[in-house]
Amino acid sequence: MTAPASPARPTPKPGVMDIAAYVPGKSSAPAGVSKVHKLSSNENPLGASPAAVDAVRTAAERMEFYPDGSATALREAIGEAYGLNPANILCTNGSDEAIGLLAQVYLQPGDEGVFTEHGFLVYRIYIQSAGGVPVAVTENAETADIDAILAAITPRTKIVFLANPNNPTGTYIPFTEVRRLHAALPPHVLLVLDAAYAEYVRRNDYESGVELVSTSENVVMTRTFSKIHGLGGMRLGWIYAPAHVVDALNRVRGPFNVNAAAIDAGVAAIRDRSHVENTVAHNDHWLPWLTAELTQLGLRVTPSVGNFILIHFPENEAHSAAKADEYLSARGYILRRVAGYGFPNALRMTVGSEEANRGVVAALSDFLKT
Ligand SMILES: *Cc1c(COP(=O)(O)O)cnc(C)c1O
């Protein structure tokens, strides 16, 4: 018997080449467009806190030094802001890293990871990277359906990812529903509550998940500095989790996964409550305004509680999402195509500056008359 021939060059392990790489929102407009409004990645139209900008400038003077590998100052600042024990917080290189670490640590090849039909695409990517089997379950009215999630649980299920509110739909489920999901999950299944947009939500029946994490052994919450704090470029997120989960993640993460400038920026950003409040106030004004104006144009908009809206285009070729995207891009308004999320005829728009919001509505009004 002869050994199988070795490949002529290094080969990725099985499954890697089946992964569809994440496609980020566009950031540029066609040549010749003078002013670009990037509304494709749910970034903060007010920018970062000035205190965070200062902190990064100061950090630049000390960039030869390694960061504190356990980001102690940042975990303490987060703990103070939310009344949490810093020992249950782990800081990550964006919350994407937290999602990846959870998949890597809790999924063996063949294990199933569950998420919803229009859920964040990063879940699928990390489940596949871990050798797991991605299981997408149907939603109800573009909203997570707890019964559908529960129906998908099998003995191979190890992890459930739930973005609440979800991206790109902007819909959320009341916390009674999250509790009902948790109560029916087998105790060995990890429930990941991705609360990337929690700060924006203004609903009495919404909770990000802090209390459920505190009182359970199988629930974690991920958060990010990329959205309300305006630090997308710094790559900073965190996870609030039971001690046994923090312990496991700490064993596999990079020893210096969060860089020094990001740590300092995060400490300054989380202490700047007024910047957060101003951002929420801006969103509270413009989200309903955009929803009303776009609806008036005859476009269907999914009701959102986040800092973005999903805009659905008519079923006629001339006014499709693809055509609208072209039309808007040519005028400097960069929105997000969401075909990869199961919405071939919709665009996601971040709530932008006043100028951007008014500009998009005016441009779409013109577009629909073409
Ligand atoms: C933007 C977003 C994140 C945050 O990603 P970062 O890696 O922290 O920038 C996480 N989850 C969802 C659903 C998001 O939309």
Structure tokens at 281: 């106030």
Residue 34 has pLDDT above 90, yes or no: no
Name which residue sits closest to atom 3 of ligand 1, judged by CA: 196
Q: How far is the CA of 65 from the centre of ligand 1 (A)?
A: 28
Residue 230 CB less than 6 A away from ligand 1:
no
Q: Average pLDDT over the chain, rounded to whole?
A: 96
pLDDT of residue 1: 61
Residue 88 has pLDDT above 80, yes or no: yes
DSSP string, 182-250: HHHS-TTSEEEEE-TTGGG---TT---SHHHHHT-SSEEEEEESSSTT--GGG--EEEE--HHHHHHHH
Q: How far is the CA of 361 from the centre of ligand 1 (A)?
A: 26
pLDDT of residue 104: 98
Residue 224 CB less than 6 A away from ligand 1:
yes
Q: Omega of the bond prior to 174 within 30 degrees of 0, cis?
A: no
User: What are the CA-CA distances from residue 242 to residues 18, 220, 271 (Å)?
Assistant: 33, 7, 24
Name which residue sits closest to atom 10 of ligand 1, judged by CA: 196
Distance from C-alpha of 82 to C-alpha of 74, rounded to nearest angstrom:
12
Q: How far is the CA of 85 from the centre of ligand 1 (A)?
A: 23
Q: How far is the CA of 42 from the centre of ligand 1 (A)?
A: 9
Q: What is the mean predicted confidence (pLDDT) over 67-88?
A: 98
Query: Among 23, 119, 44, which Cα is nearest to 307's?
Result: 44
Q: How far is the CA of 40 from the centre of ligand 1 (A)?
A: 13
- CA 124, 128, 129 angle in degrees (round to 5)? 115
Q: How far is the CA of 8 from the centre of ligand 1 (A)?
A: 39
Q: How far is the CA of 189 from the centre of ligand 1 (A)?
A: 22
Residue 103 has pLDDT above 90, yes or no: yes
Residue 96 CB less than 6 A away from ligand 1:
yes
Residue 209 CB less than 6 A away from ligand 1:
no
The set of residues, in sequence order, having a beta carbon less than 8 Å from that of 11 and lying 6+ positions away, is: none
Residue 267 has pLDDT above 70, yes or no: yes
pTM of the predicted model as reported, rounded to 2 decimal places: 0.96
Specify the ligand 1 atom closest to the Cα of 168: 15
Q: How far is the CA of 249 from the centre of ligand 1 (A)?
A: 19
Q: How far is the CA of 169 from the centre of ligand 1 (A)?
A: 14
Give percent of the chain with pLDDT exceeding 90. Answer: 93
For the chain, domain boundaries: 18-47+274-368, 50-271
Q: Which fold has domain 50-271?
A: Aspartate Aminotransferase; domain 2 (3.40.640)
- What digits encode the pLDDT tens for the residues 329-365? 999 999 999 999 999 999 999 999 999 999 999 999 9
Residue 232 CB less than 6 A away from ligand 1:
yes
Of 91, 96, 162, best ligand 1 pocket probe by most atoms within 8 Å of the beta carbon: 96
Q: What architecture (CATH level 2) is domain 18-47+274-368? A: Alpha-Beta Complex (3.90)
Residue 364 CB less than 6 A away from ligand 1:
no
Residue 120 CB less than 6 A away from ligand 1:
yes
